[in-house]
Structures are given as C-alpha cells and as structure tokens.
Amino acid sequence: RGEIVDQVALARALRERWFAGAGLDVFEHEPLPLDDPLLGLDNVIVTPHWLPATRDAARLITTTVSKGMLRASRGLVPENVVNPAVLDRPGFQAKLARYRENEA
C-alpha cells in the first residue's frame, strides 16, 4: 500500500534524478491531492488502482492499462481517460510533448 512509501523522499529522489522514474497506483493519502509534488514531475506516471475480481477482468484491465501507458509513452492521449479534464492541464500536455520528442 501507499503508506509504506515515504512520498516526500520519493518526490525528492525523482526530482533529483536519483533514478529514472516511477509508475504509481497507490499513495500515502488517497485520493492524491492535485497539488501533490509527484504530479508535477515529468518522470512520474500515475495509474488507477483497481483489484480485478476475475481472471478475465484482470486480463482486460491489464491490457487496457498497458495500451494506455504505451500510448502515453509515445506522446499520445490514452484511451478511456477517467478524468478528461486532466487533458487540458499544461503539465500533462508538457509530459506528452516530451514523450513525443523522445519518440522522434
């Protein structure tokens, strides 16, 4: 669970590039506040946390999330965005632009 990670230390390590990046689906405090420092970092990807109830559901969600992450890594908007308002945020647009540049 998210409580086992010191998010302040994690944000510092990511900001100072102690390691390349992090993909997170649980947090110390949920829902994650919109002003959380992790959301402002270009080397962080957050995904929904969801525990599938069946094997078929697990396959479906794994495939859907993986496809979304691959699209984002190419600078494309993921399908099935739960909160479409995030698409208009300058920080999100900057991340997508950075990933597009890396693809070229």
Q: Which residues are catalytic?
A: 1, 30, 49
Cα distance between residue 67 and residue 63, in whole Å: 6
Q: Give me the DSSP letters along the chain.
A: -GGGS-HHHHHHHHHTTSSS-EEES--SSSSPPTT-GGGG-TTEEE------SSHHHHHHHHHHHHHHHHHHHTT-PPSS-S-GGGGG-HHHHHHHHHHHHHH-
